[in-house]
Amino acid sequence: MDRIPRPEYPRPQLVRPRWRCLNGPWQLAFDASDRGLRDGWECGRPFEQRIQVPYPVGAPLSGVSAPEPPARVWYRRELDVRADELGPRTRLHVGACDFETHVFVNGRDVGRHRGGYTPVVCEAGHALHAGSNEIVLRVEDRDTWTQPRGKQAAGAFRTPVDYDPVVGVWQSVWLEPLPEVSIDEVWTRWSAASGELAVHVAFSEPWSGEVEVALFDGESELARERGAGLGRPEARVPLRLSGPRLWSPSDPHLHALEVTLLADGREADRVTSPCGVREVGCDGGRVLLNGAPLYLRGVLDQGYFPGGWYAAASDGDLRRDVELVRSLGFNCARKHQKLEDPRWLHWADRLGLLVWSEMPSGRDFTTALVSDLAREWTEAVRRDRAHACIVAWVPFNESWGAWNQAGRPEERAFVEGVAGLTRALDPTRLVVANDGWEYAAGDLWTLHLYEGESEGVRERLAALLADPHAAVLPQGHLLGERVAALPGADVSGLPVLLTECGGIGFASVDTPAPGEPAFAYGALPKTEAELEVRIRAAAEIVTSCQELAGFVWTQLSDVQQEINGLVSFERRPKLPVERLAAIFRRIGASG
- List, in order, residues 6 or more apart from 562 with CB less than 8 Å away: 160, 161, 163, 302, 505, 518, 519, 520, 555
Please determine, for residue 590, whether its predicted confidence score (pLDDT) is greater than 80.
no
Encode pLDDT of 108-126 as tens digits: 999 999 999 999 999 999 9
Tell which residue, 571, 584, 566, has the closest CA to residue 505.
Answer: 566
**Quick check: bond before 365 cis, omega within 30?**
no
Confidence at residue 578, expressed as pLDDT on a 0 to 100 scale: 98
Res 453: pLDDT: 56
* Residue whose C-alpha is closest to residue 226's, from 114, 235, 367: 235
Q: Do residues 302 and 560 touch, judged by C-beta distance below 8 A?
A: no
> By C-alpha distance, which of 445, 449, 468 is closest to 457?
449
Other CB atoms within 10 A of residue 483 CB: 20
pLDDT number for residue 294: 97
- Compute the average pLDDT of residues 3-25: 97
Cβ-based neighbours of 486, under 8 Å, separated by 6 or more: 405, 406, 412, 438, 439, 440, 469
Could you give the domains of the chain?
20-178 (2.60.120.260), 183-275 (2.60.40.10), 280-502+546-553 (3.20.20.80), 503-545+554-582 (no CATH)
* Amino acid letter for position 170: W
Nearest-angstrom CA–CA distance, 394 and 358:
4
pLDDT in tens, 442-491: 999 999 999 765 568 999 999 999 999 999 987 667 777 899 999 999 99
Given this model, what pLDDT does residue 517 score? 84
Greatest alpha-carbon span in the chain? 73
Q: State the helix-helix crossing angle for 457-466 and 528-544, rounded to 10 degrees.
A: 20
Ranges of beta strands (E only) in 295-403 are 296-301, 332-335, 354-358, 390-394, 396-397
In this prediction the pTM is 0.97
> Nearest CA to 331 among 584, 576, 66?
584
Residue type at 411? E
Q: Taken in order 151, 308, 502, 249, is the CA torsion positive or negative?
A: positive
Q: Mean pLDDT across the stretch 85-99?
A: 97
pLDDT in tens, 47-88: 999 999 999 999 999 999 998 889 999 999 999 999 999 999
Tell me how long the chain is: 591
Q: Please say if the pLDDT value at position 247 is more than 50.
A: yes
Residue 510: pLDDT over 80: no
Distances (CA, A) of 452 to 400, 476, 538: 21, 15, 11
Is residue 184 left, alpha or beta, with left meaning phi > 0 and alpha meaning psi from -120 to 50?
alpha
Q: What percent of the chain has pLDDT over 70?
A: 98
Give the C-alpha separation, 539 to 268, whole Å.
Answer: 55
pLDDT digits (tens, 9 = 90+) for 258-315: 999 999 999 999 999 999 999 999 999 999 999 999 999 999 999 999 999 999 999 9
Q: Which residues contact 341 (CB under 8 A, 6 or more apart)?
A: 95, 96, 171, 311, 312, 318
Cα–Cα distances (Å) from 152 to 41, 72, 304, 586, in that order, read: 28, 16, 11, 34
Tell me which amino acid residue 496 is.
V
User: What pLDDT is stored for residue 158 in this prediction?
Assistant: 84
Return phi, psi of residue 392, to 5°.
-150, 140
**CB 241 within 8 Å of CB 215:** yes
Span 307-336, pLDDT tens digits: 999 999 999 999 999 999 999 999 999 999
